[in-house]
Amino acid sequence: MNQSRSHDRNRSRRRSNNKVPAGWLDYTPLNTSIENTRIIPFKCPLRRSILRHVDEQERFSLDDLVERLEKQGRTIGLIIDLTDTDRYYDYRDVEDMNIEYCKIRVPGHQNVPEKCCQQFFRVVNSFLHDNQHNDKLIGIHCTHGINRSGYFIVRYLIEILGLQPNDAIAAFNRARGHQIEKYIDDLQGRIPVNIAYSSLSDQEEHNYYLEKDRPLPYTRPTTDTTSNDFLLQNYESCKNYAQEIHQKINEFKKLPNGSSQRAKVSSTIRTMTTEFNKDVDKLSNDLTTQSRNGNITTGEANRRRTLVDKIKQSKEEIDTAMKENFTPYSSRDRADPRFAAAAENEHTQGLTNEEFAGLRSNLRKNNDEAIEALHAIVKRQKEIGVAMNTEVDRHNEIIDTITDRTGLLDSNVKRQTMLVKTIQKKSSALWLWVIILLLFVSIIVIVAIPFKK
């Protein structure tokens, strides 16, 4: 009984996760960027498993977002997600497109926390500071891309760019193609400030990297390649992250086999390891660039190469631990040829992490397309079934009409039969009276006329 209830709850949860957000279809996906800015609002893109319940012309995914912007001759460099859920799409799909992603959780139908607004300002200014030499857009969305998105964008226009409140609201409405519906009084009471980008500290400029939905808090390597110390900072970050991974592996070993917590920790470790491998590769490439450009002395390059080698050694230790602890069979079984690891095929052999991630993304995309095709077939079968049911209902209605009319006709026939019988009875009585009258007349005639002899 408990397993059945658990299964029903899980099935209900899956249906809920694949449900299109309420009101999502009532708004257009996107229009254009805010005038004189690189900010563009749009409604939340949805993953394919949700969009298969939506008509094709009304779908809006991450791929659709990029494609629509390409038609406008623009590219997007950062997406700021203001929704309070992770079910609409996977942020890793955003990063696979070489687009930065920032999550600021803002519950709907509530007052917006001030700290979220300040974080939003720092994120936007940080991106603009780091991308002064390109024109990449900053995409901002909540569920519908109207109220929460509008509130954050309008406040930025007022308090950072110095626009008057009504002008800022009108600029957002024109760019989004819909009117902001909430927070109007709050926004109209805001005072233009016009804060310069340079007022933000270096620490604040890169804080938005910390807010990504990572399995563990993780200081992402700095992007400030103009400083010789950035490699040392990245080295410390990688070293600390390696220690966190080892701690997680030790935690994994202590958990009982088959437990849900063990599976959760295993997934976390795999995600952390992928991120760590990317950052170690970046660290090595950055050192090579520094040495080639002559930004550091030969002695300093050798010292830093030693540090990078230590990180690579940690990477090898982690890889070894992963092989020992994350295989589906025990060490005793490894000697059995039946449990030998399968060799890599020609499609995966020699792939880098980025290439493997791309292959995984393509496989996921192909699976989604196959599911979508299957859904189309099922939908067509459903339409045929509905049409057959409609036709059966129509014939049933015809049969019911015939039955009703047959009953009415039967009643009419019975009524006419009774009328005929009544007429017959009355007709018989009439002929009897006629005969009696004729006999009476005959008697009178016989009596009145004398008989002649």
What is residue 62's three-state secondary structure? helix
Same domain, 59 and 109: yes
Identify the domain boundary among 373, 392, 407. Answer: 407
Same domain, 263 and 390: no
Does 180 reside within a domain? yes
Same domain, 64 and 96: yes
pLDDT digits (tens, 9 = 90+) for 35-56: 999 999 999 999 888 888 788 8
Does 422 reside within a domain? no
Does 86 reside within a domain? yes
Which residue from 268, 230, 12, 58 is spatially nearest to 130, judged by alpha carbons? 230
Active site residues: 142, 148
| Residues 13-32 as b or e (16 or more Cβ within 10 Å = b) | eeeeeeeebeebeebebbbe
Identify the domain boundary among 342, 366, 399. Answer: 342
CA 268 to chain centre: 22
Same domain, 333 and 387: no
Does 231 reside within a domain? no
Does 222 reside within a domain? no
State residue 446's pLDDT score. 81
Q: Look at residue 217 and tell me whether its pLDDT is greater than 80.
A: no
One-letter amino acid of 82: L
Does 421 reside within a domain? no
Does 194 reside within a domain? yes
- Tell me what percent of the residues of the chain surpass a pLDDT of 90: 25
Same domain, 154 and 248: no
Same domain, 273 and 319: yes
Same domain, 311 and 263: yes
Q: Structurally, how many domains does the chain consist of?
A: 3
| Residues 335-353 as b or e (16 or more Cβ within 10 Å = b) | eeeeeeeeeeeeeeeeeee
Does 323 reside within a domain? yes
The interaxial angle of helices 147-159 and 165-176, nearest 10 deg, is 140
Strands 39-41 and 100-103: unpaired
Same domain, 55 and 191: yes
Confidence of residue 343 (pLDDT cuts 50, 70, 90): low
Q: How many CB atoms lie within 10 A of CB 402?
A: 10
Which tokens in the block code for residue 389?
A: 């049911």
Same domain, 76 and 205: yes
Cα 79-80-84 angle, rounded to 5 deg: 130
Confidence of residue 407 (pLDDT cuts 50, 70, 90): confident
Show the domain range for 123: 12-213
Same domain, 127 and 202: yes
Confidence of residue 195 (pLDDT cuts 50, 70, 90): low
Strands 39-41 and 137-141: parallel
Same domain, 318 and 368: no
pLDDT digits (tens, 9 = 90+) for 14-43: 455 678 998 999 999 999 999 999 999 999
Residue 95, burial from CB neighbour count under 10 angstroms (0-12, 13-18, 19+):
middle
Distance, CA of 49 to CA of 253 (rounded, Å) = 35
Same domain, 149 and 18: yes
Residue where the block lists tokens 């700095």: 222
